[in-house]
């Protein structure tokens, strides 16, 4: 199958054409290649890699080096999808200068084509500066995993009028600052619908109901590979975690029982060579 290279212009057109945007997280070359081959629109190298790839409790320990390392691998496995990389905790919060330098590193060293950062109006100046450097920025509102300690947990955001209105104001502010799309995480479906209607840029939902312009999931969640925690909004598409356990167990059994490797998995040597060596070392055939 052939697909066309996706850019932020493609995503904007998809909103206008009512063609849902598909996004999945990816963190390595082989997975990126598979996702790309089936026509995913955008691959997000999420800082969720801290949990699903590196085994941290949350995203706060993820470094720029982690993000660059994984983004490079995903970019190498991707032909058509847009490669979007998360800006990790403390790579943009401290200053506009840090924000531009680190967004630049994700593009220059990681080969990302856009960056994503969490937060509302307070980050408008950072977004403006990154966009001015010709780097597309995706916003992220609602549940902000990097603000876990401030929010006190991973609950749904924007349920009451004040917090819902703040979310709308933040969305409009970061749109004005220049974001090319906004991820909405864990917000009520009807609030996500309102945002999708009033915003010019596409919305990408995760736990934000069916009305967004697109959807994103962490692929380990949808494949049941990550077993620590399963959010309510995840749909299981395959039990790959179980399949992996079964395959690894079979491998262990086969090796113990000397069923693997079989003859067809080995390489041949000329009989005369091995006979000569066997006799040199006093071994039977
Ligand atoms: O890091 C991540 O995987 C994300 C998604 C939850 C949107 O930001």
The per-residue pLDDT for range 11-34, each reduced to its tens digit, is 999 999 999 999 999 999 999 999
**Ligand 1 pocket residue status of 206, Cβ below 6 Å:** yes
State the pLDDT confidence band at 50, using cuts at 50, 70 and 90.
Answer: very high
State the pLDDT confidence band at 182, using cuts at 50, 70 and 90.
Answer: very high
Residues facing 83 on adjacent strands: 43
Give tens-digit pLDDT for 193-220.
999 999 999 999 999 999 999 999 999 9
Which residue bears the tokens 């800006």?
87
The domain at 8-238 falls in which architecture? Alpha-Beta Barrel (3.20)
Q: How far is the CA of 272 from the centre of ligand 1 (A)?
A: 60
Q: How far is the CA of 2 from the centre of ligand 1 (A)?
A: 27
Rounded to two decimals, the pTM is 0.96
Q: Where is pLDDT greater, at 4 or 71?
A: 71
Q: How far is the CA of 141 from the centre of ligand 1 (A)?
A: 11
Q: Which two tokens stand for residue 22?
A: 């598909």
C-beta separation of 30 from 70 below 8 A: no
Q: What's the mean per-residue pLDDT of the chain?
A: 97
Any residues with CB less than 8 A from the CB of 74 and at least 6 apart, and which? 26, 27, 28, 29, 31, 32, 43, 45, 83
Q: Which two tokens stand for residue 30?
A: 């082989």
Residue 98, Cβ density class (10 Å: 0-12 exposed, 13-18 middle, ≥19 buried): middle
Instruction: State residue 153's pLDDT score.
Output: 86
In our burial notation (b when 16+ CB lie closer than 10 A, e otherwise), range 221-242 reads: bbbbbbeeeeeebbeeeeebee
C-beta separation of 28 from 75 below 8 A: no
State the pLDDT confidence band at 2, using cuts at 50, 70 and 90.
Answer: low
* φ and ψ at residue 83, rounded to 5 degrees: -100, 115
- Residues carrying an active site annotation: 185
Give the mutation target among 22, 23, 24, 25 for probing the ligand 1 site: most ligand atoms within 8 A of CB. 25
Evaluate the omega torsion of the peptide bond into residue 191 and state whether it is cis, within 30 degrees of 0: no
The ranges of the chain annotated as CATH 3.20.20.60 are 8-238
Q: Whose CA is nearest to atom 1 of ligand 1?
A: 46
Give tens-digit pLDDT for 107-136.
999 999 999 999 999 999 999 999 999 999
What does the pLDDT average to over 248-271?
Answer: 97
Give tens-digit pLDDT for 142-151.
999 999 999 9
Is the pLDDT at 89 greater than 90? The verdict is: yes
Is the pLDDT at 237 greater than 70? The verdict is: yes
Q: How far is the CA of 218 from the centre of ligand 1 (A)?
A: 7
What does the pLDDT average to over 162-171?
Answer: 98
**Ligand 1 pocket residue status of 86, Cβ below 6 Å:** yes
Instruction: State residue 188's pLDDT score.
Output: 98
- The atom of ligand 1 lying closest to the CA of 23 is 7
Q: How many residues does the chain have?
A: 285
State the pLDDT confidence band at 58, using cuts at 50, 70 and 90.
Answer: very high
Is the pLDDT at 3 greater than 80? The verdict is: no
Report percent pLDDT > 70 for the chain. Answer: 99
């Amino acid at each position: 199958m052939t697909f066309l290279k996706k850019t932020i212009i493609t995503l904007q057109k998809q909103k206008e054409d009512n063609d849902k945007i598909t996004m999945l997280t990816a963190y390595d070359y082989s997975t990126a290649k598979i996702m790309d081959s089936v026509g995913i629109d955008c691959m997000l190298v999420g800082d969720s890699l801290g949990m699903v790839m590196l085994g941290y409790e949350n995203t706060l320990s993820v470094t720029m080096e982690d993000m660059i390392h994984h983004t490079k691998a995903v970019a190498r496995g991707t032909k058509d999808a847009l490669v979007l990389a998360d800006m990790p905790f403390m790579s943009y919060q401290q200053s506009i200068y840090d924000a531009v330098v680190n967004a630049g590193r994700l593009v220059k060293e990681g080969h990302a084509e856009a960056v994503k950062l969490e937060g509302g109006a307070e980050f408008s100046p950072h977004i403006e500066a990154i966009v001015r450097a010709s780097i597309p920025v995706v916003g992220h509102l609602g549940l902000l995993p990097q603000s876990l300690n401030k929010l006190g947990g991973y609950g749904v955001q924007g349920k009451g009028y004040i917090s819902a209105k703040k979310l709308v104001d933040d969305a409009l502010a970061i749109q004005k600052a220049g974001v090319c799309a906004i991820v909405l995480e864990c917000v009520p479906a009807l609030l996500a619908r309102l945002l999708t209607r009033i915003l010019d840029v596409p919305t990408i939902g995760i736990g934000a109901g069916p009305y967004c312009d697109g959807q994103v999931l962490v692929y380990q969640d949808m494949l049941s590979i990550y077993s620590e925690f399963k959010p309510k909004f995840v749909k299981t598409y395959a039990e790959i975690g179980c399949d992996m356990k079964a395959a690894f167990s079979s491998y262990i059994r086969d090796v113990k029982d000397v069923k693997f490797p079989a003859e067809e998995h080995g390489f041949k040597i000329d009989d005369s060579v091995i006979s000569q060596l066997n006799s040199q070392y006093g071994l039977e055939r």
